[in-house]
Structure 1
């Protein structure tokens, strides 16, 4: 009798009809022709089968079905429209499908900004965002000029024309620049005939954040703006600060009763802090006039 080992070796080992690899214990042949991964690839890419009817898909239809491919079928089974968000959407190496946007595509052929805008606005077409990027400085000034100034203060309130941030300042973008800017900064730069310095701000003489009247704007640093605020008495200092636990009467009492010392055992700072419900550092700041300096 022939050796059993020799007979088994003579039998041709089956291989995958797609990649030519022999089957493995965890990747056996399906239909005695394809290993599992190639079988799945063939189901998605076999050009001999009808094409999926989902618009723009182009994948082969499922085995036993002439309507949709595997992925569109699975999406329809979950109750979703396959054409709404096809699984085969390719974004790699593509730019946003909004014709005026040049950012890289990342979601359904749109860039992240356009996609997020669409979700925030009820799945609207992101092309509607274009108006923000086509507005020139002249367009912006024309919008501000059309605002009727306040008959008393002369302010031109932009809150009804532009989007405002948390501080109440109107913000927008200019053609060619996607970075958001405050309207007051753009108006002041046009008034001065030059861009504002990076360390300066567009300050108001009227102290009205939504106002974009050019005559009410001046250039200054953050320190200049703070000094202007304090000069006009608009700063939240002393009892004007809603988080303050002290009053002028308590401040005077602390300064009278304070006992100096080299450490917490010689000084009565800890006792005063416990009595007035503040931290010891707050007592030291009051005594050394780092705070409440306006109280004599």
Structure 2
């Protein structure tokens, strides 16, 4: 059974599991996807399964591609430069959080690289 998810990506049910259709297409036409890699769309068309439009890349490249094309989350309170500053800031978490208008847990997770992991 196939369908689209809320973001428009094709989903395929195989047995008891559900997979992204573009990942299945990539594996069938190109080969196995190495651990830790995402399958990205050159065409920026989520339901597309054309192998010529797909490429494997790590998440940092996928996110950089998204940002370069202006598709990042518009509700984000921070940008990559601010995240780098937060990581380098030695002040107390509560002070940094107040300065940037975010929750203390956000600052903590940024420092621990549990949020904004792709920012170097």
TM-score, normalised on structure 1? Answer: 0.26
1:189 and 1:170 mapped to 2: Cα distance? 15
1:209 counterpart residue number: 46
- Aligned-partner SS, 2:17: coil
User: Which of 76, 90, 98 does residue 280 from structure 1 map onto?
Assistant: 98
Aligned pairs for 1:189-200 (under 5 A) are 189-192=27-30, 194-200=31-37
2:66 and 2:58 mapped to 1: Cα distance? 12
Runs of at least 5 residues in structure 1 that lack an aligned partner in the other structure: 1-131, 133-161, 245-262, 265-269, 271-278, 286-296
Considering fraction of residues, name the structure with more helix: 2
1:243 and 1:216 mapped to 2: Cα distance? 28
1:180 and 1:232 mapped to 2: Cα distance? 28
1:199 and 1:243 mapped to 2: Cα distance? 25
- 1:243 CA displacement: 5.9
What are the Cα deviations for residues 212-246 of structure 1, in whole angstroms up to 9, with x where unaligned? 1221111112111001112223223xxxx2365xx
Considering fraction of residues, name the structure with more strand: 2
Aligned pairs for 1:109-124 (under 5 A) are none
TM-score, normalised on structure 2? Answer: 0.58
| Cα 1:224/1:243, change in 2 over 3 Å | closer
Which has the greater radius of gyration? 1
Between the two structures, name the one with larger relative contact order (CA 8 Å, sep ≥ 6). Answer: 2
RMSD: 3.1
2:6 counterpart residue number: 166
Runs of at least 5 residues in structure 2 that lack an aligned partner in the other structure: 78-90, 102-106, 108-120
1:195 and 1:243 mapped to 2: Cα distance? 34
